[in-house]
DNA sequence: GTGCTCATTTGAGCGGCGCTTAGATTTGCC
DNA sequence: GGCAAATCTAAGCGCCGCTCAAATGAGCAC
């Protein structure tokens, strides 16, 4: 059963699975997803081209394993910064999402390519990505409870927040051909903070707006009569 | 110079370039980007495996051509619905963006994979995608002028709007492994309308909010003194 | 230690891929 | 009719994912 000899001069590698994952990630970092092949990864790990198939049923399964790693990293990154204020907390999580995409381009590209990993077959992926989504919902509900997001159906705000962070991340990672971004004056590495803050700002504005309207409605019986 | 014999029983195909593009799109629709190979496309068009290279220098160039087609379609889709009200206009354009992604998954997947088309080398792509971005900026400025988006630096709102529509589209197309979406009660085909409307709603709220604050500031000299 | 078992690894091989090249075929133009 | 250019074929190179029989060695019972 090979218990990690670490110095691998032997016939049995011992840590081949980990070595393959590491090599695969490096290959993606160097030349994109298309640069990742099991043969190259095997070569880097110092084994023959057939060896990987004892640890991964297919290239897709290796990609799924990398994707799961990525989701676990993302989850940790989003839980790293905490804030007392629920709105601020949501804000930090969103910014962490975008920062993760910028700093781990290779992971991000793999994570959202379900067609590359014969997804759905690999429950590890589901298990790794579920907490990320759940924490988002939790944060949106908390922010709503604190009156920093308009009341009512929370799902639309979950989807809105997720769309914004994921959209900006995708645009940064798979760039729009340099066509729009280059025309914007904003520096790339500040877009995450700026966009998430802007969204949070307008959400708070709308939340207060709604409260005012409601209070006013209560007082004067005239709905939507602001200003 | 072959002038499209249409009924192609001859040695020269005559419309091979178009036939290849059509076959390639069909292949992506059937099995994703990974299912597209020049050899298969050539076979569908009834020519040998070397023929495509007289019309496309590489697989990437064919993808770039498809991507350019996609951007032109997207541009047309976003200009289809017009509204008098600038805010409503921006809203419709955003919803058209998401609808395009849902209805033309194959195109959408190709358009935002710069690594698949040796992008930057193909000015056709730049030319096709630039108008889409420019129309977005124009609409944001118009909505700002009509007081439906907070004043000031418009770029943050351009980026916000783009991120929302692109993010939701990406999530719908490259699905988050069914992990989050399946837990939401919202029907997939209504997410586009809902999210874009929600964003526009909070933007309007924040815009009015800012106006109120400003007017109040003018009157009472007490900044941010609302409620 | 001896011998057994079985996961691991090898190496050869299959079909498919992107892309190149040499040569056959056709077209448009003079 | 004849010619140059464009188009297409056929063969081939190296790489790919994946499979399989055979070789290897680690762990375990004794």
Q: Which of B133, B160, B179 minimises the CB distance to A133?
A: B179
**DSSP conformation letters of B109-123:** HHHT-TTTTTTTS-H
Buried/exposed code over B198-215 (b: 16+ C-beta within 10 A; e: otherwise)? bbbbbbbbbbbbbebbee
What DSSP state is assigned to residue B184?
S
CA of B25 vs chain A CAs: smallest distance (Å): 16
Query: Please, which positions of strand C sit below 7 A from a protein CB?
Result: 7-13, 16-22, 25-29
SS3 state at B186: coil
Query: How many C-beta atoms surround the C-beta of residue A155 within 10 A?
Result: 16
A63: tokens are 């990609």
Percent of chain B at pLDDT > 70 equals 86
Report chain B residues whose CB lies below 8 A from the CB of A189: none
- CA atoms of B166 and B177, how far apart (whole Å): 18
Site of tokens 């700093």: A103
Closest to A19 in 3D by CA, of A37, A1, A46, A39: A46
Residue appearing with tokens 């920093």: A148
Strand C neighbors by CB, 7 A: A 1-2, 11-14, 16, 42, 46-51, 54-55; B 1-3, 5, 10-12, 36-40, 49-50, 53, 57-60
Spacing of A130 CA from D20 C1' in Å: 38
Nearest by CB to A115, from B34, B155, B179: name it.
B34
Name the strand (E) or helix (H) holding A156.
Answer: helix A155-173
Return the SS3 of A121.
coil
- Residues in A closer than 8 angstroms to B183, CB to CB, are 133, 137
Report yes or no: A99 and A93 within 8 Å, Cβ to Cβ: no
Nucleotide nearest to A5 (CA to C1'): D26
Residues B172 and B99 sit within 8 Å (Cβ to Cβ): no
| Cα torsion through B96, B99, B104, B108, rounded to 10 | 70
Mean pLDDT of A187-199: 96
Query: What share of chain A has pLDDT > 90, as a percent?
Result: 72
Q: B155 or B1, which is more confident?
A: B155
The pLDDT of residue A75 is 97
Mean pLDDT (chain B) is 88
* Residue B216: pLDDT band with limits 50, 70, 90: low
Q: Is the CB of A2 under 7 A from strand D?
A: yes
Q: What is the pTM of this model?
A: 0.89
pLDDT digits (tens, 9 = 90+) for A111-166: 999 888 876 778 899 899 999 999 999 999 999 999 999 998 999 999 999 999 99
Give residue B56's region: left, alpha or beta (phi > 0; psi -120 to 50). Answer: beta
What string of DSSP letters covers B51-101?
GGGGT-SSHHHHHHHHHHHHHHHHHHHHHHS--SSHHHHHHHHHHHHHHHH
Q: Which of A96-110, A115-129, A136-150, B211-225 has the lowest mean pLDDT?
A: B211-225
Could you tell me which residue, B131 or A176, shows the higher pLDDT?
Answer: B131
Q: Which of B81, B91, B78 is nearest to B204 (CA)?
A: B91
- Nearest-angstrom CA–CA distance, A25 and A8: 21
With contact defined as beta carbons under 8 Å apart, do A158 and A145 qualify? Answer: no
The reply to whether B126 touches chain A by the CB within 8 Å rule is yes
Number of neighbours of residue A222 by Cβ within 10 angstroms: 10
Closest Cβ opposite residue A179 in set B126, B183, B215? B126
Which of A209, A202, A227 is CA-nearest to residue B219? A227
Q: What Cα–Cα distance (Å) separates residue A48 from each residue in A15, A40, A226?
A: 14, 10, 73
Q: What is the pLDDT of residues B31-55, one digit of tens each?
A: 999 999 999 999 999 999 999 999 9
Chain A residue numbers touching B198 (CB-CB < 8 A): 156-157, 160
B160, pLDDT greater than 80: yes
**Mutation target vs B (from A102, A175, A177; most B CBs, 10 A cutoff):** A177
Question: Chain B closest CA to A169's CA: distance in Å?
Answer: 8
pLDDT exceeds 60 at position B80: yes
- Tens of pLDDT along B83-129? 999 999 999 999 999 999 999 999 999 999 988 887 778 889 999 99
Name the nearest CA neighbour of A117 among A164, A83, A171, A66: A66
Could you give the count of Cα atoms lying within 13 Å of A126 in the half-sphere of its Cβ? 11
Task: List bases in chain D with any atom under 7 Å of a protein Cβ.
Answer: 6-12, 15-21, 24-28
Q: Give percent of chain A with pLDDT exceeding 70.
A: 86
Give the number of other Cβ atoms within 10 Å of residue A201's Cβ. 18
Rounded Cα distance, A180 and B192, in Å: 22
Query: Distance (Å) from the C-alpha of residue A50 to the closest C-alpha of chain B?
Result: 22
Is the CB of residue A52 less than 8 Å from the CB of residue A41? yes
Asked if residue A7 lies in contact with residue A19, where contact means CB atoms within 8 angstroms, the answer is: no
Scan residues 195-224 of B and list those with Cβ closer than 8 Å to A.
Answer: 195, 198-199, 201-203, 205-206, 208-212, 215
Specify burial of residue B132 (Cβ count, 10 A radius: 0-12, 13-18, 19+): buried
Q: For residue B26, how many other CB atoms are within 10 A of its CB?
A: 16
Q: What pLDDT is recorded for position B138?
A: 96
CB A86 within 8 A of CB A143: yes
Longest CA span, chain B: 84
Strand D contacted by B2 CB (< 7 A): yes
Task: Give the closest of B114, B169, B175 to A177, CB-based.
Answer: B114
pLDDT at residue B214 is higher than 60: no
Is there a contact between B209 and A210 if contact means CB atoms under 8 Å apart?
Answer: no
CB A157 within 8 A of CB B198: yes
Higher-confidence residue: A121 or B66? B66
Span A38-58, average pLDDT: 97
Does residue B130 have a pLDDT over 70?
Answer: yes
């Amino acid at each position: 059963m090979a218990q990690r000899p670490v110095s691998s001069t032997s016939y049995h590698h011992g840590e081949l699975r980990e070595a393959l994952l590491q090599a695969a990630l490096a290959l993606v970092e160097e030349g994109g997803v298309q640069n990742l092949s099991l043969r190259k990864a095997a070569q880097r790990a110092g084994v023959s081209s057939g060896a990987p198939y004892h640890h991964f049923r297919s290239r897709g399964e290796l990609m799924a394993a990398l994707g799961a790693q990525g989701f676990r990293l993302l989850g940790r990154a989003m839980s790293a910064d905490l804030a007392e204020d629920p709105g601020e907390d949501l804000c930090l999580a969103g910014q962490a999402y975008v920062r993760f995409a910028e700093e781990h381009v290779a992971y991000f590209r793999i994570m959202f390519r379900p067609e590359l990993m014969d997804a759905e077959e690999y429950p590890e992926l589901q298990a790794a990505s579920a907490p990320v989504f759940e924490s988002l919902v939790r944060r949106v509900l908390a922010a709503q409870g604190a009156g920093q997001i308009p009341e009512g159906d929370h799902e639309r705000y979950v989807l809105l927040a997720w769309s914004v962070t994921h959209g900006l991340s995708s645009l940064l990672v798979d760039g729009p051909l340099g066509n729009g971004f280059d025309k914007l004056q904003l520096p790339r590495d500040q877009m995450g903070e700026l966009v998430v803050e802007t969204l949070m700002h307008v959400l708070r504005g709308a939340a207060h707006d709604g409260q005012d309207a409601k209070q006013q409605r209560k007082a004067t019986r005239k709905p939507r009569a602001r200003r």
